[in-house]
Structure 1
Amino acid sequence: MPLPVTHTQPAGPTAGPPVVLVHGFASAGTKDWPAARWAEPLAEAGRETFVVHLPGHQGGPAADDAEDVTTPNVLRRLAASVPSGQVDLVGYSLGARLAWDLAATKALEVRRLVLGGLSPMEPFAMVDLAAARSSVHGGPSPVDPLTAAIAGMVRDQDANSLLNLVEGLARQPFDPAASVPRVPTLLLAGENDQMSQGIERIAALVPDAQLRHVPGDHLGALASDEFRAAVLEFLGV
């Protein structure tokens, strides 16, 4: 079943392929890709946009079972959410991890790929899910800092769905070396983003990839004007 999308038509003559935007974990399409900063200027430039709403997140379907949200199943649903044909693909954080695989496996026909805030490791595989689930239902805070951070991120959202998503994605940990995109690629990372430490190793895997650092930490980088300007320039807007 396709995932929900927010679709924006170009305001004038089409000037390039559609742009697909994929948000991060425990965020939302409207939060990571606010229309005034992304869909509206892209529409004015003649570009159609699709903001995908991931399972467990605002605007997306619930994730009632981890098996439904393994990486292959999420990728399949994501690819089915946009029309066939060439697209420009932009992902941030978890969205970047999914975008990497969509381009590398050719589940989407990607013309240009932008990966922001991408972690070279698989954090979800290190989460103590039992401790996280206990915590969000009133139990003690997890001792493990990563598990505590994940529990804190999901507590005020659909925690059950988001932790099922963590479990499902962790079953096939992200391994960038296993399959590499072969399309023009821009990687963006915040200068103070601890999540993207080691992104140079990922950039080295992709032929002729561009790597740029922008101001900010993991959240601030995405909100920076430098991030937005770099993406639009790379997409030819």
Structure 2
Amino acid sequence: MPKFEIDGVEISYLDEGDGDPILLIHGFASNKSINWEYPGWVDLLVKDGRRVIALDNRGHGESSKFYDPEAYGAPVMAEDARRLLDHLGLNSVDVMGYSMGARISAFLALNHPDRVKRVIFGGLGYGMVSGVGDPEPIASALEAERLQDIADRTGRAFRAFAEQTKSDRLALAACMRSSRQKISETDVARIGSTVLIAVGTKDDIAGSPQKLADLIGNARVLEIPGRDHMVAVGDKVYKQGVLDFLNDELA
């Protein structure tokens, strides 16, 4: 996979297909392959006539790892995404982020509105504003010596996922302690892009998608039936809804 480096940060990315570009930003403890290639998103969007760009966020995948929480944060990672667009010479793109990636996408749309045409927030609703829980049990679980020693259910699930993806657990712990910046209702209302909010009906992490949509001037909700936070990303309803959104000339 190609990489680029700026200010001592190396970012790995993929760039496939031709046509209107879309930038994909993965969720916490995932990477561009797990979040977007394996569930078929890259192939789907390329076949739909799009140029697909997906990056490994810092601390994840093949990108640079850091162990100080100050090196992370969704606004910081949004700047990595913006720099990738600069590197590729892309002025304006569609963007889709999942979970943490949706939060990063929101900061990208807020801080660089001219760079984001349409944006899809997957796996994150009003939790973007209210927060999605205490990060410390997850960070502590990632730092624990053994999976079987972890009592917290959510922390145990993220630890197991990090092991499955062969991630750097200490880098993820640092990221977890800094990546969940809330965005105020006032700032969310400033997002000028057309927005699709796609959340599983059994997702107990994301928060209400409709409550988030009500804050944004041009937003619609896509409910992903019967899916929770972890499995909604590959769902066929999610995929078709995104294609419909991207191909809607009014969106």
Quickly name the TM-score band, shorter chain normalised. Answer: 0.7 to 0.9
CA contact (8 A) 1:79 1:107 kept: no
Alpha-carbon separation, structure 2, partners of 1:189 and 1:141: 31
Give the counterpart of 1:189 among 190, 199, 206.
Answer: 199
RMSD (Å), alpha carbons: 2.6
Give the counterpart of 1:201 among 203, 208, 211.
Answer: 211
Q: What is the aligned-residue identity percentage?
A: 23
Alpha-carbon separation, structure 1, partners of 2:204 and 2:147: 28
Structural mapping, 1:83-232, within 5 Å: 83-106=89-112, 109-119=115-125, 120=127, 121-123=130-132, 125-128=134-137, 131-132=140-141, 134-135=143-144, 137-138=145-146, 141-155=149-163, 157-170=167-180, 173-180=181-188, 181-215=191-225, 216-232=227-243
TM superposition shift of 1:93: 0.9
**Cα distance, 1:159–1:233 mapped onto 2, change above 3 Å:** same
**Cα distance, 1:176–1:30 mapped onto 2, change above 3 Å:** farther
TM superposition shift of 1:138: 4.0
TM superposition shift of 1:235: 0.9
Aligned length: 229
Point out where structure 1 has 5 or more consecutive residues left out of the alignment. Answer: none
Cα offsets for 1:28-83 (capped at 9, x unmatched): 21122127833334333332110111122223221232221133321211210123
CA contact (8 A) 2:113 2:193 kept: no
Q: Which residue of 1 aligns with 2:3?
A: none
TM-score (norm 2): 0.80
One-letter amino acid of the structure 1 residue matched with residue 110 of structure 2: A
Q: Which residue of 2 aligns with 1:3?
A: 11
3-state SS of 1:212 partner = strand
Q: Which residue of 2 aligns with 1:61?
A: 64
TM superposition shift of 1:205: 0.9
Give yes or no for the alignment of 1:31 onto 2:34. Answer: yes
Cα offsets for 1:147-195 (capped at 9, x unmatched): 444444435521001001112324xx22242422111111111111111
One-letter amino acid of the structure 2 residue matched with residue 114 of structure 1: I
TM superposition shift of 1:141: 3.6
Alpha-carbon separation, structure 1, partners of 2:241 and 2:77: 28
3-state SS of 1:43 partner = helix
Alpha-carbon separation, structure 1, partners of 2:107 and 2:139: 28
TM superposition shift of 1:8: 0.7
One-letter amino acid of the structure 2 residue matched with residue 112 of structure 1: R
CA contact (8 A) 1:127 1:146 kept: no
CA contact (8 A) 1:55 1:61 kept: yes
Alpha-carbon separation, structure 2, partners of 1:28 and 1:85: 24
Alpha-carbon separation, structure 1, partners of 2:114 and 2:155: 32
TM superposition shift of 1:211: 0.6
TM superposition shift of 1:145: 4.4
Alpha-carbon separation, structure 2, partners of 1:102 and 1:193: 24
TM-score (norm 1): 0.84
Alpha-carbon separation, structure 2, partners of 1:112 and 1:71: 19
